[in-house]
Amino acid sequence: MTTRGASVRRLRSYPTSGIAQLRWRGVRKALLKVQGFDFVPENLRSNSFKRAAQAVLTAHHTFGNFYAEPEPTKQLARMGTSIPGPALAECLRAYLSVFLGNAYSHSWDAASIAERELKKVSRDRWELYLSKIFPAEQDLLFKLNEAKPLKRWTELVAALGLAQYAIAQSSVAKLIEASARQSLTGVTQHATALLRQFRGG
134 and 97 co-located in one domain: no
Same structural domain, 101 and 137: no
CB-CB contact of 70 with 114 (8 Å): no
Confidence check: pLDDT of 201 > 70: no
d(CA 80, CA 176): 29
pLDDT band at 156 (very low <50, low <70, confident <90, very high): very high
Same domain, 112 and 144: no
For residues 34 and 38, give the distance between their C-alpha atoms in angstroms, rounded to a whole number.
10
DSSP state of 99: H
Identify whether residues 19 and 33 lie together within a single domain.
yes
Which structural domain range is residue 63 located in? 42-118
**Could you tell me what percentage of the chain is helix, strand and coil, using 3-state DSSP and rounding each to the nearest 5?**
75, 0, 25
Q: Do 127 and 195 reside in the same domain of the chain?
A: yes
For residues 49 and 112, membership in a common domain is answered with: yes
Average pLDDT score over the chain: 86
Q: Are residues 183 and 133 in the same domain?
A: yes
Verify that 161 and 148 share a domain, yes or no.
yes
Asked whether the predicted pLDDT for residue 74 surpasses 70, the reply is yes
Please name which of 88, 90, 82 lies closest in space to residue 128, comparing C-alpha atoms.
Answer: 88
Is residue 105 within 8 A of residue 142, CB to CB? The reply is no
**Structurally, how many domains does the chain consist of?**
3
pLDDT tens-digit map of 86-125: 999 999 999 999 999 999 999 999 999 999 999 999 999 9
